[in-house]
């Protein structure tokens, strides 16, 4: 019988429920259990695909093409259980399904209501993950307890334990224990209130994970236990990790969370092996090199907009015992101040994906700078398309070359819509989405990085490289080293005579794990380390 863990959050948002859920998943998986993870989001959008990254951070894409919440990125970085479109549901999707059923006449004669119709639908999407291949389903409820929009989800998970039996469910509530400077103490009252709210709805949490800046004393844990009606050993401290998010699973393990869960749910688990994970943190703490990467994107101040890219660079750094300092630079600022002033001194330049015309000129300037100065360059999706525009204008000599996303009347639309995309007018879920295979040319940077000739990578875009320009580009040193659909779509191009210039139409950042860094990020970081080393050596030569 599959067991269920529900993770809720209280007091404030941004407590790191996703990271905590992913860490729990990882600990259980490493104890030999088959885990599936799921996030239920209370907002009304059908998926986060149409939300601005300002609002919601990056849109994380799965193999099956679903556009999901960025917390699913944490799940995939920490665990190996397969994620599919069943791993992320929103209020919008739940209502859409119920309304479609109502229109089909499935509820004939009934008044369709939040309870039981919406709650039944929520329970059914949770049950969908429970099968004979799965020991534990971890369902994270987005939002904060007390929000109006979370209520149907909380009601559904309350009912769930009645349906499957109390002993088969475990409720973990994440709360905040803030430190008040003026009083010089940690305050437990917000936690008491938040658990109080859950209990009013009928949920008694089994475990409290308390986020805190400072150590919580035993007396304070006893107080929380007493007022919140949980045993002392189930009040787990989760102190802020200034150094790395990859410390979280280790610290939860040290506080005994995995053992507590295994006992409460009566799971058959073996002991835990974490040496490889400790080794990763050791590498992070003891780097042998330090490099700086400039990431030139639209959202310089919103780290969450490029979450998976930051993580992928960290993973590559761990592989090479290197500290990777990533500086987010707004492409509009590059346009205003020029690349020389802003980008000199970096060991690598990365231009990420994106939509819309704002900031494009600065991205193109950054790419020209990387190309001319021989700085390692990785262009991802829109970054690849901007590289094509830059090369078209400045190397191939195609004046006015552009993407038809930004200029419908360009004389040289080097990036354009495929015929099948031209007919589509809806915005949500209508791009080229999800995993697709590509062939790599032997003797290319890409095939050396991957050590393979066929790869599978995730996509999220509408526009493509325009094949009418392939010959002109090839004549000027562009190598189309990766293609898909029998060679018809450009997936990767590189530049002859440049040490490391790789532009990819897909999103490698959705495939990197700390224990398995993505080969392209690993190659990019290695090239940046090499450049740093060569520059240091040439400075030393000049000085001696
Ligand atoms: N806007 C571009 C397209 O739709 C690139 C998308 C992206 O970078 N994810 O093709």
Which of 115-129, 291-305, 489-503 shows the lowest per-residue confidence on average (mean pLDDT)?
291-305
463 lines ligand 1 (CB under 6 A): yes
Confidence check: pLDDT of 233 > 90 = yes
Q: Would residue 106 show up in a list of annotated catalytic residues for this protein?
A: no
pLDDT-wise least confident of 19-23, 283-287, 387-391: 283-287
**Active-site annotation holder among 169, 228, 381, 386:** 381
Query: Has residue 426 got a pLDDT over 70?
Result: no
pLDDT 10s digits, 67-85:
999 999 999 999 998 899 9
Which region among 107-121, 331-345, 457-471, 528-542 has the lowest average model confidence (pLDDT)? Answer: 528-542
CA distance 277 to 482: 33
**With a 6 A CB cut-off, is 462 part of the ligand 1 pocket?**
yes
Instruction: For residue 96, report the distance from its CA to the centre of ligand 1, in Å.
Output: 27
Instruction: Answer yes or no: is pLDDT of 123 > 80.
Output: yes
Active site residue 509: yes
- Picking from 351, 350, 376, 279, the residue whose alpha carbon sits closest to that of residue 319 is 279
Say if ligand 1 is within 6 A of residue 353 CB.
Answer: yes
Region 405-429: mean pLDDT is: 81
Between the CA of 365 and the centroid of ligand 1 the distance, in Å, is: 18
User: CA 192, CA 213: separation in Å to the nearest integer?
Assistant: 18
* Residue nearest ligand 1's atom 8 by CA: 353
Q: Residue 8 has which token pair?
A: 């809720």
Model confidence at 423: pLDDT above 70? no
Question: What SS3 class is residue 20?
Answer: helix
416 closest CA partner among 380, 462, 381, 384: 462
Which residue is catalytic, options 4, 56, 74, 507? 507
Atom of ligand 1 nearest to the CA of 383: 8
Minimum CA distance residue for ligand 1 atom 1: 355
Query: What does the pLDDT average to over 258-272?
Result: 96
Give the pLDDT mean for 396-410. Answer: 95
Q: Is the pLDDT reported for residue 291 higher than 80? A: yes
The tens digit of pLDDT for each residue in 172-198 reads 999 999 999 998 999 999 999 999 999
Q: From the CA of 385, how far away is ligand 1's center (Å)?
A: 8
Q: What pLDDT, on the 0 to 100 scale, is given for residue 501?
A: 98
- Per-residue pLDDT, 539: 76
Q: What is the pLDDT of residue 467?
A: 95
Confidence band of 56 (pLDDT split at 50, 70, 90): confident
Q: Is the CB of 404 under 6 A from ligand 1?
A: no
State if residue 95 touches ligand 1 by the CB under 6 angstroms criterion: no
Residue 433 above 90 pLDDT? yes
Q: In the annotation, is 507 catalytic?
A: yes
327: confidence class by pLDDT, cuts 50, 70, 90: very high
Contact 348, 527 (CB under 8 A): yes
Task: Write down the residue that tokens 């060569």 correspond to.
Answer: 534
Q: What is the 3-state secondary structure (H, E, C) of 80-123?
A: CCCCCHHHEEEHHHHHHHHHHHHHCCCCCCCCCCHHHHHHHHHH
């Amino acid at each position: 019988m599959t067991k269920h863990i529900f993770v809720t959050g209280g007091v404030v948002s941004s407590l790191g429920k996703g990271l905590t859920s992913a860490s729990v998943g990882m600990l259980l998986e490493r104890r030999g259990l088959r885990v599936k993870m799921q996030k239920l989001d209370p907002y009304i959008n059908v998926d986060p695909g149409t939300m601005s990254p300002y609002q919601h951070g990056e849109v994380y894409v799965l193999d099956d093409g679903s556009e999901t919440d960025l917390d699913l990125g944490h799940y995939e970085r920490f665990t190996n259980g397969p994620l599919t479109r069943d791993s992320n549901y929103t209020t919008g999707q739940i209502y859409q399904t119920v309304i479609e059923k109502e229109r089909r006449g499935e509820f004939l004669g009934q008044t369709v209501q939040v309870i039981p119709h919406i709650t039944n639908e929520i329970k059914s999407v949770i049950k969908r993950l429970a099968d004979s291949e799965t020991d534990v389903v971890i369902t994270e409820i987005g939002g904060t307890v007390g929000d109006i929009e979370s209520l149907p989800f909380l009601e559904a998970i309350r009912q769930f334990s009645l349906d499957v039996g109390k002993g088969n469910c475990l409720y973990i509530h994440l709360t905040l224990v803030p430190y008040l400077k003026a009083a010089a103490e940690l305050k437990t009252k917000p936690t008491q209130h938040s658990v109080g709210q859950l209990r009013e709805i009928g949920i008694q949490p089994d475990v409290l994970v308390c986020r805190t800046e400072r150590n919580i004393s035993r007396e304070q844990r006893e107080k929380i236990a007493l007022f919140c009606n949980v045993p002392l050993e189930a009040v787990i401290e989760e102190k802020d990790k200034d150094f790395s998010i990859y410390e979280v699973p280790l610290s939860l393990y040290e506080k005994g969370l995995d053992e507590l869960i295994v006992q409460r749910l009566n799971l058959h688990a073996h002991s835990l092996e974490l040496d490889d994970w400790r080794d990763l943190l050791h590498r992070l703490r003891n780097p042998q090199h330090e490099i700086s990467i400039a990431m030139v994107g639209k959202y310089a101040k919103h780290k969450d907009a490029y979450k998976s890219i930051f993580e992928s660079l960290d993973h590559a750094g761990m592989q090479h015992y290197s500290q990777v300092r990533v500086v987010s630079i707004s492409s509009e600022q590059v346009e205003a101040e020029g690349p020389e002033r802003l980008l000199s001194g970096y060991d690598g330049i990365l231009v990420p994906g994106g939509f819309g015309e704002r900031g494009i000129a600065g991205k193109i300037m950054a790419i020209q700078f990387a190309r001319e100065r021989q700085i390692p360059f990785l262009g991802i999706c829109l970054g690849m398309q901007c590289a094509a525009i830059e090369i078209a204008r400045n190397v191939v000599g195609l004046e006015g070359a552009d993407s038809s996303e930004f200029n419908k009347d360009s004389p040289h639309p080097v990036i354009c819509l495929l015929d099948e995309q031209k007919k589509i007018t809806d915005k949500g879920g209508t791009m080229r989405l999800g995993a697709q295979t590509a062939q790599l040319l032997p003797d290319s940077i890409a095939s050396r990085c991957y050590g393979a000739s066929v790869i599978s990578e995730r996509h999220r875009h509408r526009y493509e490289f325009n094949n009418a320009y392939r010959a002109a580009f090839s004549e000027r040193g562009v190598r189309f080293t990766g293609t898909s659909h029998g060679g018809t779509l450009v997936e990767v191009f590189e530049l002859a005579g440049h040490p490391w210039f790789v532009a990819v139409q897909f999103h490698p950042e959705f495939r990197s794990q700390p224990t398995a860094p993505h080969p392209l990020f690993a190659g990019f970081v290695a090239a940046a380390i090499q450049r740093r080393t060569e520059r240091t050596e040439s400075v030393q030569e000049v000085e001696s």
